[in-house]
Chain A
Amino acid sequence: MIKVTNVHKNFKEVKAVNGIDLFIPKGEYAALLGPNGAGKTTLVEMIEGLQHPDSGEIEIMGKGWKDHAEDLHHIIGLSLQETRFIDKLTVLETLKLFASFYGLDKKRILEILELVNLNEKRKSYVVNLSGGQRQRLALGIALLNTPEILLLDEPTTGLDPTARREIWDILMALKTANKTTMILTTHYMDEAAYLCEKIVIMDKGQILAEGTLEQLLSKYKQGEVISFETNGSIRENQLPRNEKIIQSIIDPAGNKGEIIVGDLVSYLPLFLAFIKNQQLALTSLECRKMTLDDLFIAMTGRHLDQ
């Protein structure tokens, strides 16, 4: 369905996208997960035809942008990161405007108003909408042409949990009803985990890992996380190494940190003994299963949202 082969894109010195291969089959929801500057937007905009790769191939349903731009515009629905529509146009007028580009009639506009739950707001100027309503409008515009492929760039960034949830519900409904294929960029791991069967973790223009949530997490077997705070200071190289540590991050001050270990049951006693040995006391301790964020830390040493 969507096939990206060895795509590169540079902006001056910066390698925004540095050799990416990706395949998304029909009906799959995929999330591009990564921190700001990971190259997610550049990759998505190349798939949208808004940017052109320096090298490499992008094919959508077997068609490339060079020769099939017109066709592709018709089968793709998209929302860009923070598009602002015309302030003094109403929701309904904005939808009508975009519907005219696709040659759609009023019936579809009314369906969309229902779908993205903006019926009550249809006479409001865009400038008076809340952040969540604007994002739903952007989503509604993306869905106008009943797209087979949906490309959403950070559709929920900056929204409160309720507004985010509303968008998720719309997307989940679409998945069951229309078998839409979707690529979504996000830096919220819960969003990726909830909506998408494929998760693609990106950093610095490259794909670090991809697969289902379970596949990704099981790459590090039963990776588990010890997150702690102490009343004193420790250094990373002091940690006991008898059991395998996958990754550890200690704050520069040395009084808090996270250790990702393969086997919590055997490591935790060692860690507690070590703290005691150092004549320190724990002020906080939490042990949990690894999440995507931890996975990202394990791979890059940084948090996702940094």
Chain B
Amino acid sequence: MMKQISQLIGMHLKEFFREPGIIFWAILFPILMAWGLGLAFTKQNELIRTIALVDEENSLIKREDFGQFFVSLNPGEGQPLVKKIGDEQLGITTYQFRKSDWQESIIMLKRGKISMIMELVNDSVVYHFDPINPEAQLAYLQINAAFNQKSEPTKSVNISPLTQTGTRYIDFLVPGLMAMGIMMSCMWGISYSLIDKRMKKLLRRMVATPMKKSNFLFAQFVARLLLNFVESGLLFLFAYLYFDIKLQGNWLALILILMAGNLAFTGIAIFVSSRTANTQVGNGLINLVVMPMMVLSGIFFSYHNFPDWAINIIQKLPLTILADNIRSIFIEGAGLAEIATPFFILLAVGAIAFFSGLRIYKWY
């Protein structure tokens, strides 16, 4: 009995580790993703923003304040007008003012090269920008302040940038990637392997022996669980070493919620793979489950920008439950009490999917 299970687990593990491609996608890829995204959104680089300056009546000189402002920029011949705003603490944004006509400006705006147009008409300046674009709004506020020679906000107000562990983008991202890794690994690993074995008639051959079907599925789950802990562990280790991420909550809570996530997605994977013997149909089915959750469940960016009715639905998706709770353990310091309910919800999702899958399961 135990030998049966250990042999079956061994089979799954060997199948995994002997396929270099799978190792790359399952283990290295999430780490690379964390690295790339973490670097892109966490490290503060000098930003350069271009603003179109439309001055068709050449009224720039007429206004003293503008004139002074631009003269103070003191561009060399043929150099663009440049104004640096900000300081070391908040990061510096370099605004480049590019003189152009209205038509060209609009084209640049449409192409996303600029996010704001400044038009000088007679004695006044008109700012054209999309009010729901936060980048444009910031540019407007900063430039307007600079024009009016008001002191920059940092000078008069005490601002403390949030760069401590737990509040950065990478702190948001890594727990999400862990959740996603579990989903992907279960869905692709288990579903695909089952469909493939059915297609090869291996499933049929195996159930023609005294092998217990429950052992087969249990071994599948255990093997995946082990692999996923390795995967999550390596991702955490990387994030810890490179981005100094710290677990603020309870270790045991984290392990339990990861296990519940594994169970939930193992169940779903078995349900998804319960009928088809065609890997292409399987592909579609897996994507049908995986894609919406990838987009909606707040892995890369918060789902709180969706409308309220949608958030209600999104929060009930298994990946959302998993990601939110891993995150709360990591960055809010949640413990066993906080994760109890989601833990049981995930278990229930797994159990329902598993047993419905088993009812309709096609072994041969």
Contacts and interface: CB of A to CB of B under 8 A. Distances in A.
Interface of A: 48-51, 70, 73-74, 76, 78, 80-86, 88-89, 93, 96-98, 100-103, 125, 141, 145
B209 A88 contact: no
Interface in B1-56: 3-4, 6-8, 10-11, 14-15, 18-19
A97 B10 CA distance: 9
20 contacts: A50-B204, A50-B364, A70-B210, A73-B209, A78-B208, A80-B208, A81-B201, A84-B200, A84-B202, A86-B11, A88-B14, A88-B18, A89-B11, A93-B11, A93-B14, A96-B7, A97-B11, A100-B3, A101-B210, A102-B210
Contacts of B201: 80-84
A48 B208 contact: yes
B143 interface: no
B200 A100 contact: no
B224 to A, nearest CB: 16
A281 to B, nearest CB: 53
B161 to A, nearest CB: 51
Contacts of B310: none
A145 B209 CA distance: 10
Interface string B245-275: 0000000000000000000000000000000
B113 interface: no
B4 A101 contact: yes
Central interface residue in A48, A98, A101, by most chain B CB within 10 Å: A101
Contacts of A88: 14-15, 18-19
A102 B209 contact: yes
A86 B19 contact: no
A48 B207 CA distance: 11
A76 B208 CA distance: 9
Contacts of A73: 208-210
B12 to A, nearest CB: 9
Interface of B: 3-4, 6-8, 10-11, 14-15, 18-19, 200-202, 204-211, 364
A97 B9 CA distance: 10
Contacts of B204: 50, 80, 83
Contacts of B202: 83-86
Given A86-B202, A101-B4, A141-B205, 14 more contacts: A48-B208, A50-B208, A51-B364, A76-B208, A81-B201, A84-B201, A84-B202, A89-B15, A93-B10, A93-B14, A97-B7, A100-B3, A100-B8, A125-B18
A74 to B, nearest CB: 6
Nearest to A96: B7
Given A49-B208, A103-B3, A83 B200 contact: yes
Contacts of A101: 4, 206, 209-211
6 closest Cβ contacts across the A-B interface? A88-B18, A100-B7, A101-B211, A84-B200, A101-B209, A73-B210
A140 to B, nearest CB: 13
B58 to A, nearest CB: 74
A125 B18 CA distance: 10
Contacts of A84: 200-202
Nearest to A48: B208
Nearest to B205: A83
A83 B211 CA distance: 17
A74 B201 CA distance: 20
Contacts of A86: 11, 15, 202
